[in-house]
Amino acid sequence: MTMYRLFTRLCTILAVSGGMLSSALAADSRGPATPEEIARVVQIAAASDKDPLATMASADGRWFQKWSDDVPDYSFGPDQGAFWLMNGAAKGDVKRAVIFQHMVSTAAYQVQHQIHDPQKNKDDFEAKTVAGLEGVLRAYESLLAARPDNRSAQLDEAIAARDKGTLLAFVRALPPMPKR
């Protein structure tokens, strides 16, 4: 394993652990998600489909990242789609944008379907992973329309699977998440 990959995985583990710790600490300081917050998450996800870089950098994007760490009644943990994105499916700004898009898309799916902890049900976990990847592909297509040089062979493969109606099979074939 190269030092870069080791460093990337360590950063991922620290980010996830930090999010889980801050969620636990924030649980005492705020109540559950409000209907207004849920509507805002769905709106942010829709905006990010069209312009993920701008949404990620906006006040709404920053609000979402803090809210997803602080809200006590939902668990927005990573899945194999997130790890696939972090481990080379995209590069540079595209990588940052699609990881944000995955987070906001899975959160929007979870709040719309009232899935508080997808880890508790395999079908819920798989559905939120697919929803996250669908959001990523919409955002990726927006990024490509603006800058065709942002192309990623792995994301193109996922688009082909989606277009053939085999995105679920694509998700199931992704490498498993690392063990905790």
Domain ranges in the chain?
3-172
Q: What is the pLDDT of residues 129-175, one digit of tens each?
A: 999 999 999 999 999 999 999 899 999 999 999 999 999 999 999 99
Distance in angstroms (rounded) separating the CA atoms of residues 80 and 86: 10
**Which is it for the CA torsion 50, 52, 54, 59, positive or negative?**
positive
| Gyration radius from the chain CA atoms | 16
Predicted confidence at residue 26, as pLDDT, reads 45
Distance in angstroms (rounded) separating the CA atoms of residues 27 and 3: 36
CA 125 to chain CA centroid, Å, is 13
The model carries a pTM of 0.81
Ordered mean pLDDT values, 10 residues apiece, the chain (180 residues): 58 54 56 95 97 95 95 90 88 89 96 94 95 96 93 96 97 86
Predicted confidence at residue 78, as pLDDT, reads 87
Distance in angstroms (rounded) separating the CA atoms of residues 166 and 53: 28
Predicted confidence at residue 27, as pLDDT, reads 47
